[in-house]
Structure 1
Amino acid sequence: MPKEQYRETYVGRKISHVTFNVDSASDIQQAAHIQVITKNLYAQDGQRIPARYGVLDRRMGTNQKDANCETCGLGLADCVGHYGYIELALPVFHVGYFRSIITILQTICKECAQVMLQETIKKSFRRKFMNPDLSYLHKKSLRAAVLKKAKTCTKCPYCEALNGVVKKSPAGILKIIHDKYRTKKHSDPVVQKVLRGFNEAVESNKELAGMINSGLIIELSPLEVLNLYRRIPEEDIPLLGMCARLSRPEDLILTRLPVPPLCIRPSVVSEIKAGTNEDDLTMKQSEILLINDVIGRHIASGGKSELVQEDWDYLQLHVALYINSEMSGIPLSMQPKKPGRGLVQRLKGKQGRFRA
């Protein structure tokens, strides 16, 4: 049975405040009516009927005058549209929160996931963050102070693990590297031990040599970062400038993707050629589902790690372009054939939703 849309009886209300927060994976699922799994846009019967569980499924609304929405039964003029969601085969970084993801990694230990500050300093910062009258600018400066102190810490005060510099990798698109042994000399026994282990691993598995250039610089994949963020203690979340009640650090990494209603991405019936012209967002969702499918098949059949990694990079790129299509630094081999308009492009600038 489809979910009923919640409508409250008309009563006067006074708005006290507006809060913006990041939707978690469960919030995205709760707001959605269906899970989109089919990459085909239309059923294969030649009648141009949208495929069930596809990105044009009529349960997300309708974009035709002669068809009704299958969730609320209303027509094009009255149906407000309903959301769907895509379950990603592997987690990816959100292009809009990429800088925030890096600053959180610079603040926490990459082994035990605790904020790298002494307990006494944590307590004093926590007290300041808990102030109910804290202004946005004051909170921002407090967050910068926490980051500055944590960045100088090369050894975790809790598990004594080595922590180095975390930064964006120049090698790939939306990649993060952790230079763990930057402060150590090459002759240091710890460094020598790591290099020995790395060389042994490369000798036994030649695939690794192509994927990892150096044993000393660690690349942090979205999956590793997600698991690390999930382990951040509840009491440390205010120190990251976040409110644990509203959203947690792991919400910055995408495991599910919301699929917006059909009314904001209508199909236009083409006069020149038979068929329809689909919206950029619809096409991008279809591409994401296709890559998802390929990754799922590779994992199920135990495919080569390079193939999975290559597809993962493609998934990361297409999800980023879906959100912001004007992203810079895309390698020539991965450039999209024709430029589309992402979610950011629909909102910003003179032609965007707010100003237009």
Structure 2
Amino acid sequence: MAIEASQTSSTVKQQLVDQLPKRFKGLKFGIQSNQDIVNQAVLEVSDRMLYDIENNRAPYRHGPLDPRLGTSSKTGLCATCLQPLQDCVGHFGHVRLPLPAFHIGYLRYVVMVLQNICKDCARVLLTEPERRQYLRELRRPGIDNLRRSQVVKKINDQCKKVRACPRCGAVNGTIRKHGVLKLVHDKFAAYHKSTAQKKAPPPGKRAFDASFAEATKYNPELEKHVRKAVDDLNPLRVLNLFKKISPTDCELLGLDPAEGRPEMFLWQYLPAPPVCIRPSVQQDNASNEDDITTKLAEIVYISGLIRAALHKGVAIATVMEQWEYLQLQIAMYVNSDVPGLSQPGFGKAVRGFCQRLKGKQGRFRGNLT
């Protein structure tokens, strides 16, 4: 009995001996870079087809329902980790976009950055003494987030007033939203607002107007609109501007260049979520697909059309129209509640990612209890 008791006590002691629990040192929120999106993905979603009818309705490889992205079936196995639904958390894919697109969630911040930088040389619109003064304030040891935000706001207010770049002398005007996902640069906003054009044209205005000479020659109707012409800031041009921003200027914009840069606020690669969060509802000889899955297939399809159009040299007007439609679909994929995105009379409203997270029925309040 004594031997058995000692064995039992040693067994209990062994069960109590354990490693100390790990503790989180910190939690950091940020935005993913293109490399992060590609690294976390197990495949590129490049085919819009969902099922292969000739192969017993098996999911298409490299399609939105590729088995390597996980499974939504209770009897199926994930092709990546070979685990059933209850053990597989799912795996991400990515869609490679033919042209960059604005991120609907960061559009306001993109406008702010564009207001602060020169639209020619991409330098922050501050003189050298002002740059040094603001950098000293931002780099002060122990500065808190509230004080940092106030300094960045002062920089933004000051840059809005600058009309000529202190470095290259280029004319800079107002950044405006034109529609839901379109940005324009009105270089000569002050000149346009002057009554009866009493002000003398600013430098570069005549050269800007002369750039439309060839177009007005073939279409005289354009001549009355040339005076109010603005510069289009499409995502490709904005991306190239943001890439030229120096690390020091990133600090003046309120960013840590080691953690994130302004070009990360535009889509170049789109994450494709695991299948388990967008399950297919199987019916007799068909299936009812999730909104995210159908929208993902549509984005892949339009991306293929644009890629083929660029390869064949299709008319630029056609490419621009498809590009705008692609941006609209990506915005609805993220947040379909933005005013102006959904058009009445086109079926039921699409539920984007934001709609799945917020509200009483969202993931946070509805599931994490």
* Same fold by TM-score greater than 0.5: yes
Match of 1:175 in 2: 182
Match of 2:358 in 1: 348
Contact kept, 8 Å, 1:346 with 1:353, in 2: the verdict is yes
In terms of fraction of residues, the more helix-rich structure is 2
Offset of 1:355 from its aligned partner?
Answer: 1.1
Aligned counterpart for 1:294 among listed residues 280, 288, 305: 305
Write out aligned runs for 1:1-356 (5 A). Answer: 12-45=21-54, 47-131=56-140, 133-169=142-178, 172-184=179-191, 188=201, 190-203=204-217, 216-270=229-283, 273-330=284-341, 332=343, 336-356=346-366
Contact kept, 8 Å, 2:111 with 2:175, in 1: the verdict is yes
What count of residue pairs does the alignment treat as equivalent?
Answer: 339
Contact kept, 8 Å, 1:35 with 1:85, in 2: the verdict is yes
Which residues of structure 2 form unaligned runs of 5+? 1-18
Contact kept, 8 Å, 1:168 with 1:176, in 2: the verdict is yes
Relative to structure 1, the CA distance from residue 167 to residue 304 in structure 2 (aligned partners, 3 Å threshold; closer, same or farther) is same
Relative to structure 1, the CA distance from residue 133 to residue 12 in structure 2 (aligned partners, 3 Å threshold; closer, same or farther) is farther
Aligned-partner SS, 1:87? strand
Paired with 1:15 and 1:282, the residues of 2 have a C-alpha distance of 35
Offset of 1:336 from its aligned partner?
Answer: 4.5
Relative to structure 1, the CA distance from residue 224 to residue 96 in structure 2 (aligned partners, 3 Å threshold; closer, same or farther) is same
Paired with 1:121 and 1:16, the residues of 2 have a C-alpha distance of 37
Larger radius of gyration: 2
Relative to structure 1, the CA distance from residue 11 to residue 293 in structure 2 (aligned partners, 3 Å threshold; closer, same or farther) is farther
Contact kept, 8 Å, 2:116 with 2:159, in 1: the verdict is yes
Paired with 2:226 and 2:317, the residues of 1 have a C-alpha distance of 14
Contact kept, 8 Å, 2:336 with 2:342, in 1: the verdict is no
Paired with 2:217 and 2:180, the residues of 1 have a C-alpha distance of 28
Structure 1, residues 158-195: CA drift from partner, whole Å, max 9, x if none? Answer: 011000011111xx331001010123475526323321
- Counterpart amino acid of 2:171? L
Paired with 2:161 and 2:327, the residues of 1 have a C-alpha distance of 31
Structure 1, residues 44-101: CA drift from partner, whole Å, max 9, x if none? Answer: 3151210000010011111112221111111111111111000011111000000000
Contact kept, 8 Å, 2:171 with 2:204, in 1: the verdict is no
Aligned-partner SS, 1:354? helix
Offset of 1:275 from its aligned partner?
Answer: 1.3
Moved more, 42-51 or 212-221: 212-221
Relative to structure 1, the CA distance from residue 157 to residue 17 in structure 2 (aligned partners, 3 Å threshold; closer, same or farther) is same
Paired with 1:176 and 1:235, the residues of 2 have a C-alpha distance of 25
Structure 1, residues 135-176: CA drift from partner, whole Å, max 9, x if none? Answer: 23222212111100111111000011000011111xx33100
Aligned-partner SS, 1:28? helix
Aligned-partner SS, 1:90? strand
Contact kept, 8 Å, 1:181 with 1:216, in 2: the verdict is no
Contact kept, 8 Å, 2:212 with 2:226, in 1: the verdict is no
Paired with 1:79 and 1:266, the residues of 2 have a C-alpha distance of 14
Aligned-partner SS, 1:293? helix
RMSD between superposed Cα atoms in Å: 2.2
Relative to structure 1, the CA distance from residue 258 to residue 11 in structure 2 (aligned partners, 3 Å threshold; closer, same or farther) is farther
Aligned-partner SS, 1:183? helix
- Counterpart amino acid of 2:323? W
Relative to structure 1, the CA distance from residue 102 to residue 43 in structure 2 (aligned partners, 3 Å threshold; closer, same or farther) is same
Paired with 1:74 and 1:351, the residues of 2 have a C-alpha distance of 29
Paired with 1:301 and 1:241, the residues of 2 have a C-alpha distance of 42
Paired with 1:213 and 1:332, the residues of 2 have a C-alpha distance of 31
TM-score (norm 2): 0.86
Offset of 1:127 from its aligned partner?
Answer: 2.2
Contact kept, 8 Å, 1:143 with 1:240, in 2: the verdict is yes
- Counterpart amino acid of 1:145? K
Paired with 1:194 and 1:79, the residues of 2 have a C-alpha distance of 58
- Give aligned-pair identity as a percent: 38
